Amino acid sequence: MSPSVHHQVVIVGGGSAGITVAARLTGGWFNKLDVAVIEPSDKHYYQPLWTLVGAGVFDKKVTERSEASVMPKRAKWIRDAVSEFHSDENAIVTRSGQRITYDWLVVAAGIQINWNKIPGLKESIGHDGVCSNYSFEYVDSTWENIHNFKGGTALFTQPSGAVKCGGAPQKIMYLAEDAFRRAGVRDKTKVVFAAASPNIFAVDKYRVALAKIIERKQIECLFRHELIQIRPQPKEAVFKNLDSGKLVSIHYDMLHVTPPMSAPNFIAQSSLADKDGWVEVDKYTLRHTRFANVFSLGDCSNLPTSKTGAAIRKQAPVVVANLRAAMRAAPLQAKYDGYTSCPVVTGYGKLILAEFDYEKNPRETFPFDQSKERWSMYLLKKYVLPLFYWKGMLKGRT
Ligand code: FAD
């Protein structure tokens, strides 16, 4: 093993959360903090736009930038992946065998996508009518399928457990339904949403609104249905009914899969994990419940809210304020209230902007009823939020 290096603050992951925190920690003229970001990838993605890429609105290239271009100038980028945490020794070990010690640690390594968990998925994804918005590599296949669809059954799935942006599995379905209508194939098409969840949305206000849209669009919903296998040859998706335990096979002509996800293995196997594998933090201060010099945010944390970039926008200032307070041995006063947001695109030019907190109370930004479909909110998602992300959030400004 190569000799240890030390940094005052080490951030694990240079995605949405890691870069936002790094930018906030290194910004300002008099800032002398020594911050290192450990990130293996040389690319950074604005994933929320993959919904519109899958719907043919954008080329996927607009969602990709080099990691170097988003890395704050005063942060040191260590291009490696963490493989082990030694939290009792304030150290981590990387895949290449480097040992890095720290005074403070921020864990922001995102969520793991388990493509292998569904037999038949890995073999069929990207062809034979099977597609997914949940990867830069396959997101093109969604639009190919929607665009070339000639009628039949278009099936959309959502697994049990946490996924990135809980609304995304249904957004692409609404867009596909709209695309089929515009292409004149809607009357030959059955649109089916098969989800492990018990209903369409966790927050009452938006659930009522979305139920009306589903009725208007004549979408068939099968709740408490978990995808457990894909048989690419007969084009059959096998589901387990989570209430009766019975297996149900559905023929598809197009299948959009939201794959099962989990905490990354290297976190789940570490002393930082809770019983489900996520980094265990206090849900208000975002400080680790057992290691006082460790904080976490974003998809890899066990915060009981929907995993979104919008949530990270509110979590990052709390992590930074509390980390700075902890450095001064002062009380942690910043509190995160669980705010998250899900811009549910319900068609081309239509969007319901769901915003809510830990208690699932709406926390709306605009002075109008956000559960109504609006063109203005669609424009917000399409043009304004990406700009906010690249120029504001990742620069530590909003
Ligand atoms: P990521 O941004 O995924 O970053 C994690 C980083 O950790 C990656 O760069 C990865 O390379 C790195 N990493 C992994 N393993 C290691 C390791 N061993 N060592 C070091 N680094 C490692 N959010 C919204 O707010 N609104 C939306 O409309 C929305 N829609 C979405 C639609 C889709 C299809 C998808 C996929 C996501 C959507 N999201 C949306 C969710 C949003 O993109 C994520 O919640 C957000 O990117 C999570 O940020 P993160 O930093 O936690 O993880």
Q: Which atom of ligand 1 is nearest to the CA of 343?
A: 28
Give the H/E segment covering residue 290: none
Residue at 83 is within a domain: yes
Residue at 362 is within a domain: no
Amino acid 240: pLDDT = 98
**Whether residue 25 is found in the same domain as residue 138:** no
Q: Which atom of ligand 1 is nearest to the CA of 297?
A: 52
The domain that contains 240 carries what CATH number? 3.50.50.60
**Whether residue 101 is found in the same domain as residue 118:** no
Q: pLDDT tens digits for 284-314?
A: 999 999 999 999 999 999 999 999 999 999 9
Amino acid 31: pLDDT = 79
Q: What residue owns the CA closest to ligand 1's atom 43?
A: 47
N-to-C CA span, the chain: 40
Q: pLDDT tens digits for 217-238?
A: 999 999 999 999 999 999 999 9
Q: What is the mean pLDDT of residues 248-277?
A: 98
Ligand 1 center to residue 299 CA distance, Å? Answer: 7
Residue at 381 is within a domain: no
Last residue of a domain, one of 310, 338, 366: 338
Amino acid 28: pLDDT = 83
Q: Which atom of ligand 1 is nearest to the CA of 264?
A: 15
Q: Which residues contact 20 (CB under 8 A, 6 or more apart)?
A: 312, 313, 316, 393, 394, 396
User: Cα-Cα-Cα-Cα dihedral of 301, 101, 36, 164, to 10°?
Assistant: -20
Amino acid 1: pLDDT = 59
Residue at 350 is within a domain: no
How far is residue 352 CA from its own chain's centroid?
Answer: 18
Last residue of a domain, one of 259, 288, 315: 259
Encoded tokens for 286: 């975002």
Encoded tokens for 273: 């994990």
**Whether residue 173 is found in the same domain as residue 212:** yes
Residue at 379 is within a domain: no
For the chain, give the mean pLDDT.
97
Q: Which atom of ligand 1 is nearest to the CA of 54?
A: 34
Residues 24 and 324: their CA atoms lie apart, in Å, by 11
Amino acid 377: pLDDT = 98
Distances (CA, A) of 161 to 9, 158, 276: 31, 9, 10
**Whether residue 163 is found in the same domain as residue 231:** yes
Residue of 76, 299, 301, 312 best suited for mutating to test ligand 1, as the one with most atoms within 8 Å of CB: 299
Q: Is 109 in the pocket of ligand 1 (CB under 6 A)?
A: yes
Amino acid 383: pLDDT = 98
Q: Which residues pair with 157 in a beta bridge?
A: 194
Q: Is 134 in the pocket of ligand 1 (CB under 6 A)?
A: yes
Q: Is 347 in the pocket of ligand 1 (CB under 6 A)?
A: no
**Whether residue 269 is found in the same domain as residue 255:** no
**Whether residue 186 is found in the same domain as residue 267:** no
pLDDT greater than 80 at residue 2: no
Residues 272 and 10: their CA atoms lie apart, in Å, by 15
Residue at 147 is within a domain: yes
pLDDT band at 29 (very low <50, low <70, confident <90, very high): confident
Q: Is 50 in the pocket of ligand 1 (CB under 6 A)?
A: yes
**Whether residue 90 is found in the same domain as residue 44:** yes
Q: Is 385 in the pocket of ligand 1 (CB under 6 A)?
A: no
Ligand 1 center to residue 18 CA distance, Å? Answer: 10
Q: Which atom of ligand 1 is nearest to the CA of 340?
A: 25
DSSP 19-83: HHHHHHHH-STT----EEEE---SEEE-GGGHHHHHTTSS-GGGGEEEHHHHS-TTEEEE-S-EE
| Whether the Cβ atoms of residue 200 and residue 207 lie closer than 8 Å to each other | yes
How far is residue 121 CA from its own chain's centroid?
Answer: 20
Q: Is 133 in the pocket of ligand 1 (CB under 6 A)?
A: yes
Q: pLDDT tens digits for 112-147?
A: 999 999 999 999 999 999 999 999 999 999 999 999
Q: What residue owns the CA closest to ligand 1's atom 26?
A: 48
Active site residues: 165, 342
**Whether residue 280 is found in the same domain as residue 307:** yes
Q: pLDDT tens digits for 334-357?
A: 999 999 999 999 999 999 999 999
Residue at 380 is within a domain: no
Enclosing domain of residue 171:
114-259
Residue at 220 is within a domain: yes
pLDDT greater than 80 at residue 30: no
**Whether residue 131 is found in the same domain as residue 240:** yes
Distances (CA, A) of 289 to 16, 40, 135, 216, 279: 23, 27, 32, 46, 9
Residue whose C-alpha is closest to residue 25's, from 126, 87, 131, 103: 103
**Whether residue 276 is found in the same domain as residue 146:** no
Last residue of a domain, one of 303, 322, 338: 338
Amino acid 375: pLDDT = 98
Q: pLDDT tens digits for 46-85?
A: 999 999 999 999 999 999 999 999 999 999 999 999 999 9
Sign of the C-alpha dihedral, residues 191, 192, 193, 199? positive
**Whether residue 154 is found in the same domain as residue 241:** yes
Ligand 1 center to residue 111 CA distance, Å? Answer: 7
| Whether the Cβ atoms of residue 159 and residue 196 lie closer than 8 Å to each other | yes
Q: Is 168 in the pocket of ligand 1 (CB under 6 A)?
A: yes
Residues 111 and 114: their CA atoms lie apart, in Å, by 10
Q: Is 266 in the pocket of ligand 1 (CB under 6 A)?
A: yes
Domain count for the chain: 2
Ligand 1 center to residue 311 CA distance, Å? Answer: 12
Q: Which residues pair with 250 in a beta bridge?
A: 237
**Whether residue 144 is found in the same domain as residue 272:** no
